[in-house]
A and B are shown apart, each in its own frame.
Chain A
Amino acid sequence: MVRDVTAASFPIVLEGLTVRYGRATACENVSLSVVAGAVYALLGRNGAGKSSLVRCLLGQQKPLAGRALLFGQDSWRHRARLMARVGVVPEEPDAPASMTAQQISSFCRGLYPSWDEQGVANCLARFAVPTDVPFGRLSKGQKAEVMLAAALGHAPELLVLDDPTLGLDAVARRAFSDELIGELADRGTTVLVATHDLAAIEGIATRVGILKDGRLLLDEEMEILKSRFRWIRYGNEITSARTAYGTELDAFDAVRVRVRGWGVDAVVSNYDEIAFERFRQTNGVVDAEATAMSLEEIFLAVAGEAPAPEDGLSAPARGGAA
């Protein structure tokens, strides 16, 4: 009973997931859980391990260690049964090239008892995708739209999207996002989306995970994440040499600090209004200001490469990310 409640509450649970390809590590001991109804944005640079994690989650690949649970069941062992409750939009649209959208819908109709053929047709009509053209001859955007329509056709409890808008133009990306938002508004489906399209996901995601070199650097509610990250700029009269900074940012857990000619420019991960007021009144801190950060800026600060010393920037500050 406890397990059922947990399964219903957390459609996705990863426990110490590790994936390796020979000597290369794709995921290292990744653990996370996604609560029902959440939109989980899984971020990471190319090669960070997002797709490997998604394949493990979908039971398409067996992890070297750990396990992926969907609705409380091991996705490797119970893949076929679990897929009846999951909609998938892959990174590379993988439907057979000769199949038309109509045929894909017909194919799926035989597999899902709750298949809504009319709903799929309506969705494709909204996308203006021709239903009688072979999949191989559709544009990249149309392919992604067909895959999304096919993923939503059986009203899945969980939608897994692996970089679905990769390579799409702005119009196609917007259409895709709108459909996804509509789906979320209508049914409250749990979503896990691995993406590079941070701007699009920022308005949808409720929780964010950032992978870097196979490790989960961050796994947090979007609201909290955005509230604790700030961009702080100030003139530095504390140190005698203006090319350095001291300990004044320690309270904010600076993720990255740049010392410029006019002062200091820092990204902090533990922002607090009261502490910032105190910071502003610190002797030697001049014209301090804190700016809210977009998801993309946070991602760049967390997952981006450390700047090289010859760029005229300082090394990353003491403290660091969460």
Chain B
Amino acid sequence: MKGFLAVARREIVERRGIFLAAAAAAVLPFLIPLLPAARRFGASETRLYAAAFLALALSAVLSLVLGTTTIGRDLSERRLAFYFSRPIGNAAIWAGKLAGAWLLIVMVASIVWIPAGLFDHATWAREIRSGLAVSVGLAFGLAVVVSLALGNAASLALRSRSIWLAGDLVALAVWIGVMGSISMPLLSAGAPVVLQRFSLALVTACAIALLLSGGAQVSIGRVDPIRGSRARFAALWGLLFAVAGLSIVSVAWLTSPTPKDLVSALTGYATPHGSWIEVEGLARGRADYWSSFFYDVDSGRSVAARKGREGAVAISEDGSTAAWTQPSGILTEALQDVWFCRLADPVLRRARLPISARIGNIEISPDGSRLALHGGGAFGVYEIPSGRLIGSVPPGTDEQFSRVAFLRRDRLRIYRMPFGVTVRAGEEPASVEILDFDVAARRLVLRATIAPLHRPFSLTFDDRAGRVIVWERGSSLSLFDSTNGRLVAVLGNAGWDAASRAFLSGGRIAVAEASDGTGRVHLFSSEGRPERVLDLGTADLVRLGAETSVRTLALSIGPKPSVWGAGDSFLLDLEDGTLRKLGSHLEPVAAHMRWRLPRPEPGSIASLLFSRSDGSLLRLDPMTGKLTTLFRGR
């Protein structure tokens, strides 16, 4: 310890002239508020920020200069033997020199910053209490260490002028390549917290590796430059590639959660037939990394799907095929990849699509043989699993948002409407175009236009039956024929707060509305004729789920404003109007899947799933009425 302190003290004393420069720099923050350009800011803040800026700038320059000269210059000028001829440990020589340099930089920063801080102590204390100052301080300390380490390692490598320098360049290129490919999944995952933590750990590990390599050069090589260079090279690249190995393991772990790791399972999609669903959410220990799975609720089997939040997911109606899209790289112009798999035999196949626009939605044909996708105004149909383009529509404008649904294997229905249905006062009424795309003929045919529509409005689809319900908020609730745009019936009036609509089996229509604090479900015939009204009692907001059996409809009753998970779930007997409570803070999943899956079959997996506010996912047994937890929440 004596040796370490003696070397560190010597390092500071040797460069004590820097303190004079720091003292001179400390005066500058007091002069800057006098400048005319600075008068419009508060003098106190100006002084503090100028002092902080000067302290950081001086420290940055000093870190690099000291990093490159400490030890490296002693070695090249053969002055390190002065210390090795004394009873000072090898590590103490190296650590003492670097600690002295580090302390010198911190002292210089303090000399520049503290006078301004003491002068404006009230503002200073406020800034420190804000927590930002602590973060900046920690970042500063780490940055100084990293700069010192980097300068030191670079200087030792360059001054050695040995063959190992060429080895350094080769190893650096390989290491950058390896780390680039390791980091790619995190960069493309859209998880800033994970990325930040990973980067911080990586920078810290690299700084340690750089520092230890300098230590190895001094401790192992001592005054022998050849042996020292060899030791530095081995230590530096051994450690950095060990860091790369650890990174591979940690990134693999981060990006490979299992469904059991999900702490909040959202159901993105469920098949109308079969038992496969798509679940996604945050996973345990992985901060904001978003993962997605295809999950068979009957067998518990799963297939890892999209990594990160970017991209769209789909399962074919027969539950045989799944697909998702994902950008192939991190740049905005990166082409999109589409991944396919047969769920019964989940071998993943990838096809690269010739488009780079963000894909808004994908659909798989009922038999799982074709994939339709649209994004950035483009629309195309691709063969599964080859990824071959079968037909496409020339790109439209970016202002249009479409919904796509397969009517048959070779025919799709496309709804084209203004992007964003949120109204702004005084805007023109909107319209919805309904088009059919003949895949074989590659022909797009305009079937109908529904107009004018007052915004905001929302739609409920029944693609197969050719119907669409349009609710113009504050206006009317209407049933249209989507094959020709004809108004079939007006279902409700302007007084309804018709938040939820559903097409039922047999073609009937259910509309839930909650006016004046009382909830009701209105049942209509398939032509829109009113049949009966079922009273729900006190309710501010009603969400309709799906039919858990032919005569039972799941719904939730909750408070306003709408918060997912705040409602209580019930089963409504559509024949006698009785309500049976299933649970509190429970919502039928079908209520938020309606855009993708407008009309789940009664008793299908989509109709039986419920989610709680804690992120757990439950399955209803329609025979016993009991709920079973599939995924636990937080």
- Residue numbers of A with Cβ under 8 A of B are 21-22, 55, 58-62, 79-84, 86, 88, 90, 92, 94-96, 98-99, 103, 107-108, 110-112
Contacts and interface: CB of A to CB of B under 8 A. Distances in A.
Given A21-B226, A62-B224, A111-B88, A94 B6 contact: no
B89 interface: yes
A283 to B, nearest CB: 60
Given A55-B223, A60-B222, A62-B224, A80 B82 contact: no
B595 interface: no
A94 B81 contact: yes
Q: Is the interface on chain B under 10, 10 to 19, 20 to 34, or 35 or more residues?
A: 20 to 34
Contacts of B14: 96, 98-99
A111 B226 CA distance: 29
Interface string B1-13: 0110110001001
Nearest to B17: A98
B78 A92 contact: yes
Contacts of A82: 87
B90 interface: yes
A58 B84 contact: yes
Contact of A95 (B6, B82, B87): B82
Given A61-B223, A90-B81, A96-B14, A83 B87 contact: yes
B82 A111 contact: no
Contact of B85 (A21, A81, A88, A96): A88
Contact of A60 (B79, B81, B92): B81
Given A96-B14, A98-B14, A84 B79 contact: no
Contacts of B79: 94-96
Contacts of A111: 2-3, 6, 86-88
B388 interface: no
Interface of A (DSSP majority class) = loop
Contacts of A98: 14
A110 B84 contact: no
A90 B222 CA distance: 15
Contacts, number: 73
B227 interface: yes
Given A111-B3, A111-B86, A94 B78 contact: yes
A120 to B, nearest CB: 14
Contacts of B80: 94
Q: When A and B form their complex, which 6 residue pairs have the shortest distance between CB atoms, in order from nearest?
A: A88-B85, A84-B87, A94-B82, A83-B87, A60-B223, A61-B224
Interface of B: 2-3, 5-6, 10, 13-14, 78-82, 84-90, 92, 222-224, 226-227
9 contacts: A55-B223, A61-B223, A80-B92, A83-B85, A96-B10, A96-B14, A96-B82, A103-B13, A111-B2
B86 A83 contact: yes
Interface of B (DSSP majority class) = helix
A71 to B, nearest CB: 13
A99 B90 CA distance: 21
Contacts of B92: 80
B87 A90 contact: no
Contacts of A108: 86
B227 A62 contact: yes
Contact of A81 (B2, B6, B87): B87
A14 B393 CA distance: 87
Contacts of B86: 83, 108, 111
A160 to B, nearest CB: 9
B327 to A, nearest CB: 52
A86 B81 CA distance: 14
Nearest to A88: B85
Contacts of B13: 103
A86 B226 CA distance: 26
A58 B87 CA distance: 11
A92 B92 CA distance: 23
Most chain A CB within a 10 A radius of its CB, from B3, B78, B79: B79
Contacts of A88: 85
Nearest to A162: B81
A107 B88 CA distance: 12
Contact of A80 (B6, B78, B88): B88
Most chain B CB within a 10 A radius of its CB, from A22, A81, A83, A84: A83
B87 A107 contact: no
B85 A107 contact: no
